[in-house]
Amino acid sequence: MHHHDDHDHSLEQDLQAMLNTTAGRRQSLRWLFASAAALPILGCGGSASDSTTGTTATSTGSTGTGTTGTTGTTGTGTGTTTTTGGSCSVIPEETGGPYPADGTNSNSSGTVNVLTQTGVVRSDIRASFNGATGVAAGVPLTIKLRIVNANATCAAAGNFAVYLWHCDRDGNYSLYSNGVTNQNYLRGVQEADANGDITFTTIFPGCYAGRMPHVHFEVYPSLAKAASAGNRIKTSQFAFPLAACNEVYATTGYSASVRNLANISFATDNVFSDGYSLQLATVTGNATSGYVATLTVAIAA
């Protein structure tokens, strides 16, 4: 399938924006790598690369690993943000990709923004909302994020908000990919509690050609400010241990992901190739009862 990759900025503007950031060098290299990989667009999921819209990048770490547990596959990320003596590493800034649906770009029908739609604030993001009725099928996944503030001795960042989105098990993004442009599932906004904790109920995303399996998210200073992408203070992505991915993709409905995952690695992924230790979720569970992905996200607010 072909996916739309529409942008509301020119190539010159995109390049200048990247070079003006504190992470310009890192993001520019990523863009150049992505551009080479994007011709032609591969598979039926997202494009072979994600376009760059990030602003600042900080602290990447060493490679994390996945391990196999005794009761189903358990992936443990060595780089989940940790706190030692009141200090922690801010999760890297990453591209929001071509399919954010946060009002910053367009799909085939024009500018698309779910942040202002009724029903977007929800924990279970498997079903479409605001009049759409589709439901994303796949292995159940619970995502648990803990937001901490690196500028406040890594204390819990309560009442911040997160907009999270990812592809379905076929590698398609709602609102953008052929066949699901009339759906808006696998997108939602949640407000952190006093402990900085946010939980989403979803499905394990598929692996499309050119990218390791991943989830996108944006962090906002409050739920009220999450209605506009202009208020976001962090855009990033997180990944999953290979052991968990392999186990999920052996189940019904993920056959394309098996092929795509065999042709990509963290070393060749255009987002995670420069380090992903702070972006590797810890995954527990199994394909029968579902998985839980846990990640601590340090921001500087």
CATH code of residue 146: 2.60.130.10
User: Is 280 contained in some domain?
Assistant: yes
pLDDT of residue 95 exceeding 50: yes
* Residue 28 reports pLDDT greater than 90: no
| For range 134-159, the mean pLDDT | 97
Q: Who wins on pLDDT, 56 or 219?
A: 219
Q: Which domain holds residue 291?
A: 102-299
188, part of any domain: yes
Q: Is it the case that residue 298 has pLDDT exceeding 80?
A: yes
pLDDT at 159 over 80: yes
Q: What is the pLDDT of residue 72?
A: 35
279 vs 275: CA distance, rounded Å: 9
Distance CA 82, CA 202 (A): 25
* H runs (alpha helix) in the chain: 11-19, 24-37, 242-249, 255-262
The pLDDT value given to residue 87: 85
pTM: 0.76
- Give me the mean pLDDT over the 145-154 stretch: 97
Residue 12 lies in a domain: no
**Contact indicator for 291, 284 with CB cutoff of 8 Å:** yes
Residue 265 lies in a domain: yes
In-domain check, residue 173 = yes
Strand partners, 188: 164
Question: With 80 as the cut, is the pLDDT of residue 167 above it?
Answer: yes
Domain count for the chain, please give it. Answer: 1
Give the angle subtended at the CA of 211 by the CAs of 210 and 216, to the nearest 5°.
145
Any domain includes 234: yes
**Model pLDDT for residues 239-286, shown as the tens digit of each residue:** 999 999 999 999 999 999 999 999 999 999 999 999 999 999 999 999
